[in-house]
Amino acid sequence: MTVQDRGQQADLPGDTYAVFGNPIKHSKSPQIHKAFAQQLGDALTYRAVRVESDAFESTVLGFFQRGGRGLNITVPFKERACALADTVSSAAEQAGAANCLVPREAGLHAENTDGLGLVKDMAANLGWQLQGRRALVIGAGGAVRGILQPLLQERVAELIIVNRTASRALELAQRFDNPSTAVRGCAPADVDGETFDLVINGTSASLSDDLPELPDIKLSARCCCYDLVYAAAPTAFMQWSAARAAWAVADGLGMLVEQAAESYYLWRGQRPATDGVISDLRAALLASA
Ligand code: NAP
């Protein structure tokens, strides 16, 4: 049974897509997908929809029954999106969370494009080498769960996860244990004195311009530091990285656009170019500051 077979009439106009979350007002996804569609000459509608918690599943199923072509899912529904789907990609399964839903013959398919987006931004856009690097990930929430498998696929040499609630970091390390790359989870202070080539801030501390509890680490000569959060001005973590002479520092705007491009590709089979969209968003962000 396909999602369109489950009842309701397909009455959505043309190719309709949306992002579901709560809150949703801040979402830049409509702007990004509109830019992709313009670039590729596609006629489509993409809306940001605030969904109440008790109506998430019914709203998702209703959207696809009415002919919706694809959904992005954001906080706090990524885990529930994964649980709702009929088929789940390995990235979404390992993360236990999905940010993209695609209607297919076999039913609703869940994917997690966050980690792919991050890796694409670091490797392709920023030119950072990931293979063989010693990586530290700070945080153990939903976003970090989504980025670990893609990072491991890039064959980092070692992956250490630290979190202020250390038990969550340990749990993630166990979940992502694998024969090829050593994965360790611990409290921030447990890595004091160690040296890293790649440091990713996956906490939400930057949203309130705070610095998460950070270990007293050393940055290698070509250490790259990435904050999943993006802002008009460098975040507290980016400032901390620059003060320690990180070789390169970036925020998560490129990841946001790249995860959207992966979603667009999954829905429509065409991969939009992202560089112009990232620079336009950056300019708009700076202008709004
Ligand atoms: P989440 O599930 O709520 O997890 C938040 C994480 O941050 C937890 O590990 C939490 O630690 C930690 N944390 C929060 N405040 C902290 C503080 N003051 N000091 C130290 N640790 C702190 O959130 P999420 O979904 O993982 O999202 C994390 C961030 O990634 C968000 O800010 C989000 O905007 C960003 N993000 C960006 C993109 C992108 O495309 N650029 C995509 C996804 C997410 P505890 O476990 O101890 O509570």
Whether residue 168 is found in the same domain as residue 64: no
Whether residue 156 is found in the same domain as residue 171: yes
Q: Is there an atom of ligand 1 within 6 Å of 75 CB?
A: yes
What per-residue confidence (pLDDT) applies to 1? 41
Whether residue 86 is found in the same domain as residue 148: no
Q: How many angstroms separate the alpha carbon of residue 7 from the centre of ligand 1?
A: 38
What tens digit of pLDDT does each residue of 87-115 get? 999 999 999 999 999 999 999 999 999 99
Whether residue 93 is found in the same domain as residue 151: no
Last residue of a domain, one of 88, 112, 136: 112
Residue 170 exposure: Cα atoms within 13 Å on the Cβ side = 7
**Which amino acid residue places its CA nearest to atom 45 of ligand 1?**
165
Query: Would you place residue 66 in the very low, low, confident or very high pLDDT band (cuts 50, 70, 90)?
Result: very high
Whether residue 102 is found in the same domain as residue 131: no
Cβ-Cβ contacts under 8 Å for 38 (sequence gap 6 or more): none
Last residue of a domain, one of 81, 112, 143: 112
9-32 b/e (C-beta count within 10 Å ≥ 16 → b): eeebeebbbbbbbeebeebbbbeb
Whether residue 125 is found in the same domain as residue 105: no
Q: Summarize the confidence of residues 138-152 as an average pLDDT.
A: 95
Q: Is there an atom of ligand 1 within 6 Å of 204 CB?
A: yes
Cα distances from 29 to residues 3, 65, 172, 263, in angstroms, run: 24, 22, 28, 11
- Tell the burial category of 34 from Cβ atoms under 10 Å away from its Cβ (0-12, 13-18, 19+): middle
What tens digit of pLDDT does each residue of 247-275 get? 999 999 999 999 999 999 999 999 999 99
Beta bridge partners of 107: 104
pLDDT > 70: percent of the chain = 97
Q: Is there an atom of ligand 1 within 6 Å of 40 CB?
A: no
Q: Summarize the confidence of residues 234-250 as an average pLDDT.
A: 97
Would 176 be classed as within a structural domain? Answer: yes
Q: Summarize the confidence of residues 117-129 as an average pLDDT.
A: 98
Ligand 1 pocket test: pick from 116, 147, 168, 203 the residue with the most ligand atoms within 8 Å of its Cβ.
Answer: 203
Instruction: Provide the domain count of the chain.
Output: 2
What tens digit of pLDDT does each residue of 33-60 get? 999 999 999 999 999 999 999 999 999 9
Whether residue 130 is found in the same domain as residue 244: yes
Ligand 1 pocket test: pick from 99, 204, 211 the residue with the most ligand atoms within 8 Å of its Cβ.
Answer: 204
Map tokens 């995860």 to a residue: 259
Whether residue 146 is found in the same domain as residue 190: yes
Whether residue 121 is found in the same domain as residue 103: no
Q: Is there an atom of ligand 1 within 6 Å of 236 CB?
A: no
**Lowest mean pLDDT across 3-17, 27-41, 53-67, 180-194:** 3-17
Give the distance between the most distant pair of CA atoms in the chain.
61
- CATH for 207: 3.40.50.720
78 is an active site residue:
yes
Quick one: which of 32, 78, 30 has its CA closest to 51?
78
Whether residue 107 is found in the same domain as residue 121: no
Mean pLDDT of the chain: 95
Residue among 25, 34, 78, 120 flagged as catalytic: 78
Q: Is the pLDDT of residue 10 over 80?
A: no
What per-residue confidence (pLDDT) applies to 71? 98
Q: Is the pLDDT of residue 220 over 60?
A: yes
Would 66 be classed as within a structural domain? Answer: yes
Whether residue 164 is found in the same domain as residue 227: yes
Query: Would you place residue 6 in the very low, low, confident or very high pLDDT band (cuts 50, 70, 90)?
Result: low
Would 102 be classed as within a structural domain? Answer: yes
Whether residue 125 is found in the same domain as residue 103: no
Q: How many angstroms separate the alpha carbon of residue 244 from the centre of ligand 1?
A: 23
Range of the domain at 134: 115-251
Q: Is there an atom of ligand 1 within 6 Å of 228 CB?
A: yes
Q: Summarize the confidence of residues 275-288 as an average pLDDT.
A: 96
Record the pTM.
0.95
What tens digit of pLDDT does each residue of 221-237 get? 999 999 999 999 999 99
What per-residue confidence (pLDDT) applies to 72? 98
Q: Is there an atom of ligand 1 within 6 Å of 219 CB?
A: no
